[in-house]
Structure 1
């Protein structure tokens, strides 16, 4: 009888633990790694915008220490790799804080499996879609 009681108590304790109880900026393996730009969305102003495939070598590498580097400008929707950027990211509020010059607004992101969508502050919808490659 004691063995059953201890087993039930152990199961209840395991179920009641929640990873959201951890404090601070929790870095997850969901974002850590290298992501390559695969598509972009730029709405013309009527809500009809859709993601369109792009051919680009632009990548972002997210490190486990909360920093990132990119061979392109993550501050805008461009597909070029002419301006490298770096900064930090926060997994608690899903934001990227890039060194974008005089205006450094947080850029939001969302991850679904191996796809990351980065949303920019625009009058109309504008986003970049990345695929995890490493």
Structure 2
């Protein structure tokens, strides 16, 4: 990734991020750091678009609930690997792609994260 602040150029550096992703696992932690990702059934999808636009369908990016309804649009930064949303419960949300999966990390005391699979 280069230091340029232009989101159009940055999206070219990580074309794997663009597109739709479905929520498949959620980190479950009892508060002692021993948590693991557990498979879940959810219709929540994220769609990363050009120019820092992120659409959320069948859910709310500010909620770790897997069955929530609704749609919203927020923004993201490739340079900072963060999602910017007006959430009451979380100060920030960061993301990364590893091993072909998208991980969202929420700012929680006991560790909160979600794992998404890319849709065709």
Q: TM-score, normalised by structure 2?
A: 0.84
Tell me, yes or no, if structure 1 residue 35 matches structure 2 residue 16.
no
Larger radius of gyration: 1
Q: Is the 8 A contact 1:107 1:120 kept in 2?
A: yes
Q: TM-score, normalised by structure 1?
A: 0.76
Question: Corresponding residue for 1:15?
Answer: none
Aligned residues: 114
Alpha-carbon RMSD across the aligned residues, in angstroms, is: 1.9
List runs of 5+ in structure 2 lacking aligned partners: none
Give distance in 1, aligned partners of 2:81 and 2:67: 24
Partner deviation per Cα, 1:70-102 (whole Å, 9 max, x = no partner): 1111112211241322111101110011243x5
Question: Corresponding residue for 2:97?
Answer: 111
Q: Is the 8 A contact 1:34 1:60 kept in 2?
A: yes
Between Structure 1 and Structure 2, the one with more helix by share is: 1
